[in-house]
Structure 1
Amino acid sequence: MLRAIGALGLALLGAALLAVALPAGASTRPDLPKTITITVGAPASSQPIPAGFLGLSFEYWAVPDYAGPNPRRLNPVFLQLIRNLTGPAPVLRIGGDTTDDTWWPTAGARKPAGIVYSLTRGWIATIGALANKLGARLILGIDLEADSSQVAAAEARALIAGIGRQRVEALELGNEPELYNAFEWGFSGAPGRPAGWDFAGFDGDFARIGAALPHVPLAGPVVGQPNWFGYTGRFLSDQPRVRIATLHRYPLQQCFLQPTQIKYPSITHLLAPANSRGLADSVAKSVIAAHARHDTLRIDEMNTLSCGVVPSVTDSFASALWSLDALFEMARVGVDGVNLHSYPGASSQLFTFTRLHGGWRAVVEPAYYGLALFAQAAPPGARLLKLAGTGVPGIKLWATRAPGGTLRVVVINEGARARRLAVRAPAGAAGPGALERLEAPGITATGRVTLAGQHFGAATGRLVGARRTSTVALSRDGYVFEVPAASAALLTVG
């Protein structure tokens, strides 16, 4: 009888017998390891994703560079790229190194030694126009390093008058004050504070200069070094006008480190658990301290690299996978918002713009695609869900349920081989799921990144091209699908 079946029949019969012999959920492909079974459970203990969770941060001079010099004709591609990530009423932070290097020229005050930039009415008008177009809430950096109540108050008044009080979420006094006594202030030739200056000195300076500012909420301590994170609770107790606690987090830095250290830039280090989960764990106690006082806590400056230039890491597709995972990790520990920092020329900039024949064109970097997938997977009000079956090296898993009931599961495969997953949804989930992928030619790729088969158009800032998704049926083993090496996938049910 077997002879009568023929070669094709034998092949079909063999496949059928193999399918019967395989246990449920097992893979028929020899290159795939054993199927990973994930069970999605009840909501985690963390809070729902707050509105405005994902924001952006720009240096003062970067705003007119990105938005254009004319407040009445802002760069529409830039506006769209912000809207893609943040939705309505985004939280934008304006500051960074330029917080303490910028002033508003003040009658009767000598220009401080470390000042590099002078605010102009044009700059302020552009910031205000950007905020009004987006309905944005602004955290505005105010110079603390100048150690002058007069200078700080004049700058704050000029910004509020030019932008409008309704757009100012908070005034953020200073930037990374723990470094004031270690690095040159601007081009002054000397640090902004003496060698013995410490947290107590900062705390006193903040109170003294903060008292001179217009009566709007303040943000601080604007600290980036973990050895000062432990002061968060004390700082908030000492500074009752501070309503937004702000910290900075970067996984990598090239300066002052050896290549073997976990924070030294490499793709392997970027994707290490210490630089995503560990990064979030480092601020967890500060989150608790802020929430105990009914204050919010934002990581209002974050990106891949804080010091140095390593485009092979910061511009790689690995940065997309890292940014997606790092945002979920920050949400896990209860952080109220994260602002990704970008400015023209930065090694970790999110986008670049050029003007051609009167129009704007953008190049969107890989990290931005990871942010875009997070914005889709974790909308405001969504709850993180508990997962069982995690702990597989190289695989990161997250699940959310939106207020309307939609279930979303994110799988990040940082490894060098494809994996098969079986996702068992919680009770009530039914029907097929839609699967979309975040992909690139490889983990080191610096271009040709796609999200659901699409890319962000240079002239529009919107996703263009044919949208590619696949349907995943609900089987007895759950939703079963493969995730290629060095890629991410989003499964949406409901």
Structure 2
Amino acid sequence: MGRIAWICAFVAAPACWAQTAVAIVAHPETPGLAIPGDFIGLSFESGSLTSATGFLAENAVFQRMVAQIGPGLVRFGGNSVDKLTGWMRGQRTPSTSSSIITSSDVDRAFAFARAVGWRVLFSVNLGGGDPATDADEAAYVYQTAGDVLSGLEIGNEPDLYHSNGLRPSTYTVSDYIAEWTTYANAIQARTPAAVLTGSAAAGSITTWTSTFAQQLGSRIALLTQHLYPLAPSSVNPNASNVASIPHILGSAARNTEDTDGSELQQIAQSQKLPWRMSETNSCYNGGEKGVSDVFASALWGGDYMFTLAGRASAGVNFHGGGSGNYTPIAVSGSQVTARPLYYTLLMFRAAARGRTVPLDVSANGVNLTAYGALDTDGTLRLMVIDKDTAQDAAVTITPGSAYSAALGMRLAAPAADSTTGITLGGASVGADGSWLPAQLETTPLTHGTYSTTVRAASALLVNFGNGSLVVANSAGGQPEIARNSLASVYGQALGMVVSGLAPVPVQGLAGVTATLTDAGGTTQPLALSYAGPSQVSFLVPGEVAAGTATVNIGAVSGAVTVSAAAPGLFSLGATNTAAALAVRVQNGQTAQTAVPVFDCSSGTCSPVPIAIDDQSTVYVSLYGTGIRGAASSTTCTVGGVTVPVIFAGSQSTYPGLDQVNISIPPALRGRGAVDVVVTSGGKTSNAVRLAFGG
């Protein structure tokens, strides 16, 4: 017996863990609630804004870490908002008290929000403030940051004002409603467009929150609530909800979360309001060391967010900041690091797209939960969380007849109490705050089912797709590609996250790999320039046989024709406005002056009319791909007029990118918006648009 235990411990411990069969059946044919795009949120103390080191608004690593779990909603509030002693318009100086919030502090907060692409829920002082001061602060916020402001909270956790020494023990919800109304009136008298939220109560859902919603629901745009399901051991080590790994992974936390979510859903629905858990985390008073800062908190966090999404929550704001035990992003001096909870935010961002999907889960005694989401493109995503610290789960998933391929990504750590060694998709968050998966699992379905093992104390995200791929020219979208050109693959469940454009195409990007098998039967790995859930872009190899080729990504494939030339022109965004540059050269001179070609300032792109005159010549550079293979035969028409081609070939900086330089003849003067088409090797490109004035 001792020898067997020794072998299990030192040779193959995971294989010796108990493994239990778990069956999951998805019902994507009956999707449920929409999961808002800004469901993920963070919450910080308002008091942190009064110090450059309290909130690292300008720190590039901090910004990157917040941006890559967004877009989301950042909330400034907490107990400190009611302890601030004043508001001042002006610049913070070394002599300014840290208990006073200044307009420069507000500017920093909103500059941060713009930098990361998030919106803001901003709190003003009710516990220790006055209506006129709050009204002036709110007016400044709306004047300078209305573009990213989601709404205002007035005060923080008023149901605890008596215990925090802000109000007498006789303070009631009626007293609070009267005060809130006075402050709200003052704010909206100065700023009629001010959007208000509330009540931001710590608990007391059936008393404070319900009463507030009934009496003031017509004045708010969002019902807000706070929740900390566990209590620190320093308060009562024998409490039924004392913070511990068994409690954070078990029913002690989940039952409270589901009950509160259900009550809030009913209250919000009765007032036709959205609701949000605007401040929350695992355990109040900053969290519990060994619980809130270990891997168990990551497993809890994913379960918690999906639980509330199923209760129609508009989102969850995890409170944090500094180096507190429960903060998702820890800050010590200028050093910024990812805590375990941060990893589940990354995973949830990848998983929670679209609408919730009902699941039938037969866990057979394993402490396992699973959640589904159906994306608008038809991709089905399931997040399976094995919160059991002793039992692996042999999971079988039946996703539905529409799906034939699966892509998996795992969240793992050495143990539930680990603080290091945490990976998502086989990768940890880097020192610069960046993360992309390194390992994804591609699996075809067998007889309509997907089977895998989910290890004890780990989680798995599985994306299900229909198994079909469409391969096309990256620029024009035609179903034909050329050697050394840029091509794209479109489908479902191709990747987990958006990689961003790689400066140089690489083999393996964000965990995605691809191959091309040409008409001669030769298979080559592909260098990828972009990887995302529904699109993967690659550089077509230079040595590939002409004819029908097959592109493979994981367990799915698609066919495409490879030719010597397959011209395509790039356009901007979802428009047909040409991706082009232009210069003007005065007659008899060589100096070049840049000419505007397009305008994207309104959120969409349109061509800017290029003035044509007799004193100068305008040269336009068009950008595309699939042209260099027949560069010498390239011609171009603009508005049906054949124009001189000065150059056609490789752009030389970015692999696969081609450039066509043309000169604009006087005949195009005053033509307005016209089509531009390139022909190479007898093949015609897609049309893009330029515009010409007088």
What's the secondary structure of 1:128's corresponding residue? helix
Contact kept? 1:251, 1:279, Cα under 8 Å: yes
Of residues 451, 459, 479, the one that matches 2:450 is: 479
What's the secondary structure of 2:462's corresponding residue? strand
Q: 1:330 Cα shift? A: 0.4
What's the secondary structure of 2:290's corresponding residue? helix
Of residues 420, 432, 440, the one that matches 2:394 is: 420
Does residue 181 (structure 1) correspond to residue 154 (structure 2)? The answer is: no
Equivalent residue runs for 1:28-427 within 5 Å: 31-42=17-28, 46-63=32-49, 64-65=52-53, 68=56, 74-87=58-71, 90-105=72-87, 117-146=99-128, 148-161=130-143, 163-183=144-164, 191-213=165-187, 214-215=191-192, 216-225=194-203, 227-239=204-216, 240-254=218-232, 257-307=235-285, 310-353=288-331, 361-379=335-353, 381-390=354-363, 392-415=365-388, 416-427=390-401
| TM-score w.r.t. length of structure 1 | 0.82
Q: 1:66 to 1:307 in 2, by over 3 A?
A: closer
Aligned-partner Cα distance in 1 for 2:54–2:62: 7
What's the secondary structure of 1:305's corresponding residue? coil
In the other structure, the counterpart of 1:9 is: none
Contact kept? 2:31, 2:374, Cα under 8 Å: no
Q: 1:44 to 1:152 in 2, by over 3 A?
A: farther
Code of the residue aligned with 2:213 in structure 1: it is L
Aligned-partner Cα distance in 1 for 2:357–2:84: 40
CA RMSD of aligned residues (A): 2.4
Q: 1:488 Cα shift? A: 0.6
Code of the residue aligned with 1:223 in structure 2: it is A
What's the secondary structure of 1:329's corresponding residue? helix
Give the structure with the higher percent helix.
1
Percentage of pairs with the same residue: 25
Q: Point out which structure has higher relative CO (alpha carbons under 8 A, 6+ apart).
A: 1
Contact kept? 1:48, 1:384, Cα under 8 Å: no
Of residues 435, 445, 466, the one that matches 1:463 is: 435
Aligned-partner Cα distance in 1 for 2:22–2:132: 61
Per-residue Cα deviation, 1:127-163 (whole angstroms, up to 9, x for no partner): 12112223332111111112521232233223334x4
Number of residue-to-residue matches in the alignment: 436
Aligned-partner Cα distance in 1 for 2:23–2:181: 53
Aligned-partner Cα distance in 2 for 1:268–1:32: 18
| TM-score w.r.t. length of structure 2 | 0.60
What's the secondary structure of 2:120's corresponding residue? strand
Aligned-partner Cα distance in 1 for 2:115–2:35: 24
Q: 1:456 Cα shift? A: 0.8
Aligned-partner Cα distance in 1 for 2:383–2:125: 41
Aligned-partner Cα distance in 2 for 1:354–1:153: 35
Q: 1:277 to 1:402 in 2, by over 3 A?
A: farther
Code of the residue aligned with 1:445 in structure 2: it is S
Contact kept? 1:316, 1:444, Cα under 8 Å: yes
Code of the residue aligned with 2:116 in structure 1: it is L
Aligned-partner Cα distance in 2 for 1:303–1:44: 31
Q: 1:171 to 1:31 in 2, by over 3 A?
A: closer
Q: 1:390 Cα shift? A: 4.5
Contact kept? 1:43, 1:383, Cα under 8 Å: no
What's the secondary structure of 1:138's corresponding residue? strand
In the other structure, the counterpart of 1:188 is: none
Contact kept? 2:28, 2:374, Cα under 8 Å: no
Q: 1:404 to 1:120 in 2, by over 3 A?
A: same
Contact kept? 2:65, 2:434, Cα under 8 Å: yes
Per-residue Cα deviation, 1:234-273 (whole angstroms, up to 9, x for no partner): 3223222211110001121217743232321111111112
Runs of at least 5 residues in structure 1 that lack an aligned partner in the other structure: 1-28, 108-114, 184-190
Q: Higher Cα Rg: structure 1 or 2? A: 2
Q: 1:32 Cα shift? A: 4.4
Contact kept? 1:104, 1:154, Cα under 8 Å: no
Runs of at least 5 residues in structure 2 that lack an aligned partner in the other structure: 1-14, 90-96, 466-694
